[in-house]
Amino acid sequence: MPEPTSASGAPLPASIDRTDGRPVYVIGGGPGGLAAAAALREQGVRAVVLEKSEHVGASWRRHYDRLHLHTTRRWSALPGLRMPRRFGRWVARADMVRYLEKYAVHHELEVVTGVEVSRIDRAPDGDGWQLSATGGRVLTGRAVVVATGFNHTPRIPAWPGREGFTGELLHAAEYRAPEPYAGKDVLVVGIGNTGAEIAVDLVEGGASRVRIAVRTTPHIVRRSTAGWPAQGTAVLVRRLPVRLVDAAARLLSRVAVPDLSAHGLPRPDTGLYSRVKEGAVPIQDVGLIDAVRGGTVVPVAAVESFDGDAVVLADGTRLTPEVVIAATGYERALEPLVGHLGVLGPGGRPVVHGARTPDSAPGLYFTGFTNPISGMLREIALDARRIAGRLARH
């Protein structure tokens, strides 16, 4: 394995290593991994980031061009480096990539790129962890922070007839900009934040028709109201009783969000925070409400199957779109890495996160695998401090 250097390429100062000689390995060079490494370095704990791609922030580089953070610049910064004011309140994807690059250099992080870890096991001597990586590398660390990302592996449902679809089918992870779809009939499948924003992007980019397939009616919130961001409310209410937050959100929704039932998008019959606890965050409106009201984005029933050039919906309707974009989520894909350790719960998510480690796997940490109402980047920053504090004490 190459000798680790700082992100600027400078030799690593030996004085920062106050550990027992075995570094903490951080798997993943996205926001979660970089934040954890920076917080550990601040505590005098040597951390080596292993990133399988050639650059930090790989997933952010692949997102669609239109994307902006739905959390504010202030509450999206990672430990030890503010985001520049020029980025604006809602940071663009390209600026987020620049920030992550700057972050690694600013903190002089040890980042080794082009190294993918395939499996984590207990070290043979029982002290720490052994990592199996590309090129036959075997690395031993005193602890491991897994930060491979919430959006790791694109997931497309195994719809019957999918392989025989004669139109174009792609996952939202492959979508970059609307220009290739100008003048085309497009069906977006999935009405989370990604699907909703891509649908609006397609309309503004000149698609001839845009429909969005809805399986579960989403909650929609304004990104900000009278200058106050939705994230601010989320931070304030995140520890309140679920029933209380559901009731307050229902009242606010009736005041701030128009009833779209006549346009095929009725109000949900379950509470907003109840849905969050089940893993579904609300949509922050960046144009969907106006597009649905104006008829430029048309909600339709969920996709059931494909039949040649047709898409068959749950209500029996047959559509013949030229393009289907599946905004159907991602897999965490942690099973090959740690599935044998008994540390994953339903859906393949870690049973713990932040400073907590599984009882059966002390020294194994996870960050960035939750999608909290208060904002993922904010929680990543908090997790980083907690993990670093825990490792510094032990």
Considering only CA atoms, which of 289, 385, 365 is closest in space to residue 35? 385
How many Å is the Cα radius of gyration of the chain? 22
CA 340 to chain CA mean position, Å:
24
Rounded Cα distance between 335 and 73, Å, is: 33
Residue 350, helix vs strand vs coil = strand
Low-confidence ranges of the chain (pLDDT < 50): 1-6, 8, 10-19
CA 82 to chain CA mean position, Å:
21
Q: 186 forms bridges with which residues in the sheet?
A: 210, 323
Q: Residue 74 is inside which H or E element, if any?
A: none
The domains located in the chain, with CATH, are 14-152+332-393 (3.50.50.60), 155-326 (3.50.50.60)
- Provide the token pair at 84: 């520049």
Q: Residue 313 is inside which H or E element, if any?
A: strand 310-313
pLDDT per residue as tens digits for the range 122-160 = 999 888 999 999 989 999 999 999 999 888 889 999 999
Residue 254, helix vs strand vs coil = helix
Rounded Cα distance between 110 and 11, Å, is: 9
C-beta separation of 250 from 164 below 8 A: no
Q: How many CB atoms lie within 10 A of CB 356?
A: 15
Residue 232, helix vs strand vs coil = helix
What is the average pLDDT value for the chain, to the nearest integer? Answer: 92
Signed CA dihedral, 6, 12, 15, 21: sign only: positive
Strand arrangement of the beta sheet that strand 318-319 belongs to: 303-307, 310-313, 318-319
pLDDT at 100: 98
Tokens 């220009």 map to which residue?
179
pLDDT at 19: 46
C-beta separation of 52 from 115 below 8 A: yes
pLDDT at 5: 46
Tokens 């019957």 map to which residue?
160
Terminal-residue alpha carbon distance, the chain: 27
pLDDT per residue as tens digits for the range 297-329 = 999 999 999 999 999 999 999 999 999 999 999
